[in-house]
Amino acid sequence: MFLVAGLGNPGLQYECSRHNMGYRAADALSRLWKMPFKSERMRGFFASGRVADSPAAIIKPTTYMNNSGNCLREAVIKLKVDISDLIVIYDDMDLPAGKIRIRLKGGPGTHNGMRSIVYELNSEDFIRIRIGIGAPPEGVDAIEFVLGCPEEEELKLLDEAVIRAAEAVDMIVRKGAEEAMQRYNK
């Protein structure tokens, strides 16, 4: 079973923020797979169904970004998900706005949500899709930047990246991570 986690913060005050790119990609994937979020389970908004004749689930942790690992640890255990079948989607300031990158494993970098996940799962061996939000402008605090809402031009780039991230997840599930990396890591 594949488990896809889109990271973000719950609540209207965070809805448009750059930090919610994972939530937005999970919503796009939910529409692509026609798998609506029906309930809150395992400390997250939850959707499940079948993709390519295999069970799959999408979760958006409601534990807030910095505690995302609590939700994913519970979901991985309850759903009996192999760590290599976990896909985490999140924002990344180290990538230009609108770029996406797929990695098969690796450290959490400076992202607090990823630090929480790596700590709680005691593993770095899961797939991640990073959605670039770009670096904060000079003089703007990183926290203020990620929790801020993008301007119209930047929003277009991020909207396109969210769709590509959802499509990349679909390709990973249907054709494998290597093929998705060749297509989307350009």
Domain that holds residue 17: 2-184
DSSP string, 135-172: PPPTT--HHHHHTSPPPHHHHHHHHHHHHHHHHHHHHH
Q: Which residues participate in catalysis according to the annotation?
A: 19
Please list, in sequence order, all residues whose beta carbon lies within 8 angstroms of the beta carbon of residue 101, skipping any fewer than 6 positions away: 92, 95, 129, 130, 132, 184, 185
For residues 8 and 23, is the Cβ–Cβ distance under 8 A? yes
Q: How far apart are CA 81 and CA 101, in angstroms?
A: 23
Choose among 91, 121, 119, 123: nearest CA to 104. Answer: 123
pLDDT digit string, tens, across residues 126-179: 999 999 999 999 999 999 999 999 999 999 999 999 999 999 999 999 999 999
Q: For position 54, what pLDDT does the model report?
A: 92
Q: Is residue 120 scored above 90 in pLDDT?
A: yes
Give the CATH number for residue 167: 3.40.50.1470
Q: Model-level pTM?
A: 0.97
Q: Is residue 110 scored above 90 in pLDDT?
A: no
* Total of domains in the chain: 1
